[in-house]
Structure 1
Amino acid sequence: MTYRVVQWSTGHVGRHAIAGIDARPDLELAGVWVSDPAKVGRDAGRLAGLDRDLGVAAASDADALLAADPDCVVYTAMADNRLTEALDDLCRILRRGINVVASGPVFLQFPDGVAPPELVDPVRRAAVEGGASLWVNGVDPGFANDALPLLLSGVCERIDQVRCAEILDYSSYDNPTVLFDIMGFGKPLDDIPMLLQPGVLSLAWGSVVRQLAAGLDVELDGVEEHYERLPAPEELRLSCGTVGSGTAAGLRFEVRGMRAGRAVCVLEHVTRLHPDIGPDWPQPAGQGCYRVEISGEPNYTLDLRLLGTDGDHNTAGLKATAMRLVNAVPTVVEAPSGLLTALDLPLVTGRGLVRCT
């Protein structure tokens, strides 16, 4: 069976999703939505950097794209700094009876105990009204801290703690909104950015620790946050801007799921803009990695190393996020309607992607 798919946005993740849709023999690119007037009318293949046409022109008329009744929308529009608009988009699509796989808002990957009902309930109602499904995922939050640790837990005798870490150098991550506005890099250390405002880490990654706990049948007593920041040792020139000496250039944070006074499920990020920052912080395998550590019997450490064919680990992370969504389209379309979590889906694989010639 072939599933007709609309790609919603062509930014850092969306351009890779277009390439992924084209790569799967069971998916047909039925449309592309863009917000930038300069992209309207351009071929999807060119927007995806494929150097060839796919025969689908980008459009800004959302109603026309949805009226074509695609089976699924791959929604990768930025949600972090436009939460209300993103939720409205998802509700609008779901009410039309169209399934959605989305990279955000990230708390929807497992919202129970994380997000207030006024944010989640309208999405659930829209899914019921339309008889459609929504699955929010990616690589982090997503595959690196749901499928990967839960799979590894299946070879444990005893589990004391599950720790999922992203250990990456973001200096080649060309997204100034995320780096400077959301994460606060390049700002004074006493300037608290959006990401580190009280409760934001728990809203963004509390879904990770609560989903892990649910998958391990653990009832958490609560979630705690902790972070450290380090300055740039010198002026750093990045692809998306300059970070001054002494301003924020290293961030390490944890979101801890607590049970009986112990952190049993931990989400950790170690983010640097230069490899010399935080030498005593965890170091990556290769250029960058996602790491799962299970303490118990036995103890496990599993490193998922990232590297794109262009030699950049951040490209690999963006592509992993896109493909986690694209490869799940057939499964989500066939799933019961509602707001789905990783615990609701069977194993999602890269069926049809092996190239023998």
Structure 2
Amino acid sequence: MPEGKTWRVIQWATGNVGSRALRTVIEHPRMELVGLWVSSPEKVGKDAGALCGLPETGIKATNSAEELIALDADCVLYMRQGTDYDELCALLASGKNVVTTRGDFHYPPMMDPVNRARIEEACAKGGTSIYSTGSSPGFSTEALAIPLLSLQRRHGLLTIDEYADVSSRNSPDMLFRIMGFAAPMAPFDQRRAEHLKGDFGSSLSQIAAAIDLPADEIEAVGELSATKSDIEIAAGKVPAGTVGAMRTTITCKHKGQPVLRFRANWYVTTDVEDDWNLRESGWRITTEGDTPVKVDIYFPVSDEDYAAYTPGLTAHRPVNAVPAVCAAEPGIRTTVDLPQIVPIFS
């Protein structure tokens, strides 16, 4: 890292993850917040510090993309809902690098060719780069997978199991209406599996291509499992026989053989009809080959602290990636071609 350098950063959006990133940038010893974009009219004009629980910074929130594009900045932390390609191209062409939690840029060959060409042209014009990352996909599917694969000389299958116990979330609309917990058992909505296939399939495909076992097929399968008894969670009641757990599996295959697999195990109880070996929240990464390993990662925080803890899992890696992305060659960058992301603490 350049000695003594300070990176000028714009935070783009202040949702759950964006607010944590904003706080992290303000508190970072080598970053200076120079701009803040918000989608909500109610936040326009408010101080950045007030929007993330810190003292005032003098930086006021705006919903004017043009105003921020005109600023002098090294990088934009792009964390809005949806991807606005016009907006991104303007930012990149103006000389601002972008690190985003949007999953559109994990593996350029899987991007829409028109959008990819537009982004690459903007990067060339601005001498800038763009990088997608986060906790999942990102850290678990790329940064963590690579060193485990480096132990092997004969590859079998790498499986990433993500476990998310959502029983402590007091969000009835999200859990019951949107996700479908406590609903009567029915065939899995394949549209949900296809949605995850986009981001996770491209992230895994990046790794598959890097180990020279490129994915020629990506399979997405969803399953539901019923709870065995009536339970009460933070969001309300989940009757016996209704959806208590859901699992979505994204598999990259090379010449018909599975080489990389991601399983999202989301549940409100582990007491379900199917034996899915559900465990507390975190990740389990298993490699099969000539040097098999199994790594279990847990989140050692209390239930009452969990909601405040989880945004950092997604927000901190993009912030830590800013120096590497700013130093990278222009273009769409990936975890494979960037150096290891190393945080700066002082």
TM-score of the aligned structures, taking structure 2 as reference length: 0.87
Pairwise CA distance, 1:57? 2.2
Q: Which runs of 5+ in 2 are unaligned?
A: none
Q: SS state of the match for residue 22, structure 1?
A: helix
Q: Which residue of 1 aligns with 2:85?
A: 87
Pairwise CA distance, 1:66? 2.0
Contact 2:9/2:74 (CA < 8 Å) preserved in 1?
Answer: yes
Q: Which residue of 2 aligns with 1:102?
A: 100
The Cα offsets for residues 310-334 of structure 1, whole Å up to 9 and x where unpaired, read as: 8544543321211110001111111
User: In the superposition, relative to structure 1, how do residues 11 and 124 fare at CA in structure 2: closer, same or farther (>3 Å)?
Assistant: same
Contact 1:250/1:278 (CA < 8 Å) preserved in 2?
Answer: no
Pairwise CA distance, 1:38? 1.6
Contact 1:183/1:194 (CA < 8 Å) preserved in 2?
Answer: no
User: In the superposition, relative to structure 1, how do residues 11 and 342 fare at CA in structure 2: closer, same or farther (>3 Å)?
Assistant: same
The Cα offsets for residues 44-83 of structure 1, whole Å up to 9 and x where unpaired, read as: 2232134x3333222222221221121111011122xxx5
Aligned positions of 1:157-172 closer than 5 A: 157-172=153-168
CA distance in 2, matches of 1:174, 1:108: 32
AA at the equivalent of 1:130: G
The Cα offsets for residues 147-199 of structure 1, whole Å up to 9 and x where unpaired, read as: 101111122242211111211112345777865676444555548658526x4
Pairwise CA distance, 1:226? 1.3
Q: Which residue of 1 aligns with 2:38?
A: 34
Aligned positions of 1:270-309 closer than 5 A: 270-277=265-272, 280-284=275-279, 287-307=280-300
User: In the superposition, relative to structure 1, how do residues 182 and 141 fare at CA in structure 2: closer, same or farther (>3 Å)?
Assistant: farther
Q: Which residue of 2 aligns with 1:55?
A: 58
Pairwise CA distance, 1:247? 5.0
Q: Say which is worse superposed, 31-40 or 187-196, in terms of deviation.
A: 187-196
Q: Which residue of 2 aligns with 1:346?
A: 339
User: In the superposition, relative to structure 1, how do residues 310 and 125 fare at CA in structure 2: closer, same or farther (>3 Å)?
Assistant: farther
Q: How many residues align?
A: 341
2:315 is aligned with 1:322: yes
AA at the equivalent of 1:116: D
Pairwise CA distance, 1:251? 1.3
Q: SS state of the match for residue 17, structure 1?
A: helix
Contact 2:188/2:224 (CA < 8 Å) preserved in 1?
Answer: no
The Cα offsets for residues 217-257 of structure 1, whole Å up to 9 and x where unpaired, read as: 21223111111013455475545x87677554421011111
Contact 1:147/1:342 (CA < 8 Å) preserved in 2?
Answer: yes
CA distance in 1, matches of 2:8, 2:249: 39
Q: Say which is worse superposed, 207-216 or 263-272, in terms of deviation.
A: 207-216
Contact 1:133/1:332 (CA < 8 Å) preserved in 2?
Answer: yes
Q: SS state of the match for residue 328, structure 1?
A: helix
AA at the equivalent of 2:323: P
Q: Which residue of 2 aligns with 1:74?
A: 77
CA distance in 2, matches of 1:330, 1:250: 40
User: In the superposition, relative to structure 1, how do residues 343 and 247 fare at CA in structure 2: closer, same or farther (>3 Å)?
Assistant: same
Q: Which residue of 1 aligns with 2:255?
A: 260
Contact 1:107/1:206 (CA < 8 Å) preserved in 2?
Answer: no
CA distance in 2, matches of 1:92, 1:177: 36
CA distance in 1, matches of 2:334, 2:237: 39
Q: Which residue of 2 aligns with 1:141?
A: 137
CA distance in 1, matches of 2:12, 2:32: 14
> C-alpha root-mean-square deviation of aligned residues, in Å?
2.7
The Cα offsets for residues 109-168 of structure 1, whole Å up to 9 and x where unpaired, read as: 1132x3332343322222223221110110101011101011111222422111112111
AA at the equivalent of 1:137: T
AA at the equivalent of 1:62: A
Contact 1:270/1:282 (CA < 8 Å) preserved in 2?
Answer: no
Aligned positions of 1:204-219 closer than 5 A: 204-219=199-214
Q: Say which is worse superposed, 306-315 or 250-259, in terms of deviation.
A: 306-315
Pairwise CA distance, 1:339? 0.8
AA at the equivalent of 1:158: R
CA distance in 2, matches of 1:191, 1:279: 15
Contact 2:65/2:87 (CA < 8 Å) preserved in 1?
Answer: no
Q: What is the identity percentage for the equivalent residue pairs of Structure 1 and Structure 2?
A: 33
Pairwise CA distance, 1:352? 2.0
TM-score of the aligned structures, taking structure 1 as reference length: 0.85
Ranges of 4+ aligned residues in structure 1 off by more than 6 Å = 174-178, 241-245
